[in-house]
Amino acid sequence: MYLATGIRSRVHHLAGRFARPGSIRPGAGVLTRGLLALGLLATVLVNPSAALAASRNPGGPGTIDPGPANPGPVAPSGQPDLAAFLYQSNVDVQPGQAVYFSATIRNKGNASAAGFRTLVALDSHYTNVHVDSALGSTCTIQYESGGWLPGYWAVCDGGPLPAGQERIIRINAIAPSTPGPYATIAEADSQGTVAESNESNNSARVTLTVH
């Protein structure tokens, strides 16, 4: 602050002694013709803010600072993106109540996905588990005693899924007879055969509570 004040005082002092009228352009913050004629100084910065603005807008007032280079829109990845969504008919049910689950697999990418497998897994306490509808897929029900959710798995194999399209798999079942929370999980591309732009949205999970 002291250095800037000292420079400003010296500039005004020199201007008063040597500069002719009109040699200091108002608001410009630069002493020009008077000092230049004496060979003392070509350019003296008086206002650092004005100097910064001048360096960013070399075209003068009214020009637009281009700022950092604009990278433009991000190029599309050219890959599919299979996203899983899972819905259930009820959140809270009575023991033995009929329920259903609907798994939607949507291709959110910008390229078609080749054939892939979808799993819809229900807890082992459900009974009478069967596939109600699965347009575009062929499904079988298997009982798995291990894995990430022991129970009844709907294993559904489908053909290519174009970008922006979806397929829906609906599973019907009878709720467990024992009170408690029970999970159901849907997973698209469970075998990992499709190279996707986003691999983190292939699974969905819901929990149904029996009272």
Q: pLDDT band for position 41 (50/70/90)? A: very low
Average pLDDT, the chain: 77
Q: pLDDT band for position 146 (50/70/90)? A: confident
Q: What is the pTM of this model?
A: 0.64
DSSP state of 125: T
Q: CA angle, 195 as apex, 143 and 190 as ends, to 5°? A: 5
Predicted confidence at residue 147, as pLDDT, reads 84
- 73 compared with 31, residue with greater pLDDT: 73
Provide CB contacts within 8 A for 170, sequence distance 6+: 100, 101, 102, 103, 131, 132, 133, 134
- 39 compared with 84, residue with greater pLDDT: 84
- Residue 31: is it exposed, middle or buried by C-beta count within 10 angstroms (0-12/13-18/19+)? buried
Asked if 35 and 18 touch (Cβ cutoff 8 Å), the reply is yes
As given in the structure block, the two tokens for residue 199 are: 């691999």
Could you confirm whether domain 83-191+200-210 is CATH 2.60.40.740?
yes
The CA distance from 123 to 183, in Å, is: 6
Asked if 153 and 121 touch (Cβ cutoff 8 Å), the reply is yes
With a cut of 50, say whether residue 49 has pLDDT above it: no
List, for residues 148-202, the tens digit of each pLDDT value. Answer: 899 999 999 999 999 999 999 999 999 999 999 999 999 999 999 999 999 999 9
The CA distance from 181 to 206, in Å, is: 10
Residue range(s) occupied by CATH 2.60.40.740 in the chain: 83-191+200-210
Q: pLDDT band for position 131 (50/70/90)? A: very high
The CA distance from 85 to 103, in Å, is: 6
Asked if 188 and 116 touch (Cβ cutoff 8 Å), the reply is yes
Q: pLDDT band for position 77 (50/70/90)? A: low
List, for residues 191-211, the tens digit of each pLDDT value. Answer: 999 999 999 999 999 999 999
